[in-house]
Amino acid sequence: MPVTTEDKIKAVETYINSFSKGDLEAIVGLYADNATVEDPVGTPIKEGIEAVREFYTGAVGNGAQLELTGTPRCAGDYVAFPFAANINMDGNKAHIEIIDTFRFNRDGQVIEMRAFWGPENFVTG
């Protein structure tokens, strides 16, 4: 059974909130065993749940606080959502504007994440 719009939006909310709480297991728990993560798009793809866990261990360790900056858009097997990541780097605050896409499998697990952002979306100060 295809994943519902409600399930997709719930996954996005879990992702945003769990990141902000530093809840690594809740984030990794959204992913399928054979998931891939490409963050940012154009860099080497992390393949499989252990590579995904390793990636988020580092990302959550930055203490980033995420906030949605628009409504999630659901289409086909996907949801796309705009958000900002607020990070403390060496005592300086950084703000990055990002768009992520999640693709879901029929069990409602994320099988592909792609993050769209570049240097121009990065503001320090």
Instruction: Give yes or no: 7 in active site.
Output: no
The SS3 call for residue 61 is: helix
Task: Quote the CA–CA distance of 97 and 85 in Å, as a whole number.
Answer: 7
The 60-99 contact track toward a second copy, x by CB under 8 A, reads ---------xxx-xxxxxxxxxx--------------xxx
Query: Total residues at the site for a second copy (CB under 8 A)?
Result: 30
The 15-34 contact track toward a second copy, x by CB under 8 A, reads --------------------
Q: How far is CA 35 from CA 52, 53, 68, 109, 114, in A?
A: 7, 10, 23, 9, 11
Site residues for a second copy per CB under 8 A: 5, 9, 40-43, 69-71, 73-82, 97-99, 101, 115-121
